[in-house]
Amino acid sequence: MQRVAIVTGGTRGIGGAIALGLKAAGYRVASVYADNDTAAQAFHEHSGIPVFRWDVSDYEACERGVAQVEAQLGPVDVLVNNAGITRDGMLHKMTLAQWQAVINTNLNSVFNMSRQVINGMRERGFGRIVNISSINAQKGQLGQTNYSAAKAGEIGFSKALALENANKGITVNVICPGYIATDMVKSMKPEVVSSMILPQIPVGRLGTPEEIARCVCFLVADEASFITGATISANGGQYLA
């Protein structure tokens, strides 16, 4: 029987690549998105992966959404918490709205989604949760106190949840990507990428979404049951944690 996987932020960029990678590996995948119906529909038509729209920062929306996925695809065995936003600004200029938006979407969502699936995973004696954090959780970043705090919080959350469920056949791990060639990075001026970003990366290039997807597929495999509470740094050597 195919295992069922949910990927949040799962129709574009890293999340889209993860969803495609999991489908290719034989999983039944549900991709969750927040608001871009056009992109989500295009992803669905291209991939055949069903898409579901809800706000992962809203606990009750997650409750309803996961129930809908399970009714359509079956019990959730794999959860990839990938959804995230940025609202950058130096702390002395940051608004409460900027802070709360990032904490709610990037960190509270990890609780909101994990809470919906953890009991079923415990009852069935199997589960895989992978949280997509960031290099900036490990090293910090100017103008991203909100983002760095949220992404660092994911690491602590994952370690604690891994300990709580290690004897239930459930693993919880983190991936911290560095600079990945997503639309957001590719929208930057080429001279900024070449002069300010690439010199920081020892391998001399941006990562690809597919490389992050391969990390996820490795961690969620049945054979990866001895790896839990771990953080994989996929950053081309930019930061060695």
Q: Is 128 exposed, middle or buried (0-12, 13-18, 19+ CB in 10 A)?
A: buried
Active-site entry in 27, 33, 147, 179: 147
Gap between the terminal Cα atoms of the chain: 38
Q: Can you tell me the distance from the alpha carbon of 220 to that of 127, in angstroms, rounded to the nearest whole number?
A: 8
Compute CA distances 203 → 115, 190, 199, 207, 234, whole Å: 38, 18, 9, 9, 11
Per the annotation, the verdict on 27 as an active-site residue is no
Q: How far is CA 113 from CA 58, 62, 96, 127, 164, in A?
A: 9, 6, 24, 13, 17
Side by side, which strands form the sheet with 4-8? 51-53, 28-33, 4-8, 76-81, 127-132, 170-177, 231-234
Residue-wise DSSP of 51-69: EEE--TT-HHHHHHHHHHH
| Active site positions, annotated | 147
